[in-house]
Amino acid sequence: FHSPGRQQDTMRIALKSMAAFLALRGGTAAFTATRSFGVRSLVRAPTARFMSSDSGPMPHDDDKMPFYALGVNLARQVGGQTSFNTLLEDEELDLLLEGFSDSMKGTSIQSDQVVLATYGPALNKILQDRTERIVDRVKADGEKFIENFLDCNDDAVKTDSGMVYCEMTEGDGKQPDTSNTVEVHYHGTLTDGTVFDSSVDRGQTISFPLSGVIKGWQEGLAMMKEGGKATLVIPSDLAYGDAGSPGGIPPGATLKFEVELFKVS
């Protein structure tokens, strides 16, 4: 999750501000500290629960719909469901679409490079200011969630780092540290209950080096033993910070994990 600064930098102008809101859906486990990208199909096939013969009429004939679907896919990748709709007003979204269309068709009265060099810095400031306000709100919501979780769970403890650990089942085996590889089941949700990643839902455990995951996992797993199960509530500074993560984790988000530790090696 690398934050993406003259001509090449201008092309990336505002990506630091935007990246926090680009909720690209990915299959990599959400708790990993790094992500690798391979060759993927441009448009993912819809899952069965979204496919229905009764889905209703389409906006175009079948021979045109693949290209319409390409536009939908680009919009989902660039904007997600909560990004530009949150950051921009309707008139601003119309201007965004006009710029996209003119650039794609080559019909703009000014070159892309000149537009970006001239107005990229202003765009960057607008998006940065707006994203900071949203991140602050998300962080405040996370703090309230942690307070409420502690009030409702007598067994929960808040560590010096700010992480909350709540043991569900006591283990009796080996206790890991960052030199170990662990095999776990996990179920990760946002504070509103939205599931962003779950090995439980996939029905398959996962193994990984503990040194390669977010700090909240390193600390929380080190408090567990084989055979144990616990809830970890991880503030953003121990998770993905102000950048968030592709895969549905917003910037500044507090994360809740139910983790079951099967094996330490």
| Active-site choice (21, 31, 84, 186) | 186
| Active-site choice (31, 84, 146, 197) | 197
Say whether 146 is catalytic. no
Say whether 141 is catalytic. no
Say whether 197 is catalytic. yes
The answer to whether 20 and 242 have CB atoms below 8 angstroms apart is: yes
Say whether 196 is catalytic. yes
| Active-site choice (21, 145, 149, 257) | 257
Tokens of 77: 């990748």
Q: Which residues, at least 6 apart from 60, have a Cβ–Cβ distance to it below 8 Å? A: 68
Say whether 119 is catalytic. no
| Active-site choice (31, 149, 165, 240) | 240
The CA distance from 41 to 27, in Å, is 13
In this structure, the number of other CB atoms found within 10 A of the CB of residue 145 comes to: 18
Say whether 257 is catalytic. yes
| Active-site choice (13, 134, 146, 214) | 214
Residues identified as active-site: 186, 196-197, 214, 240, 257
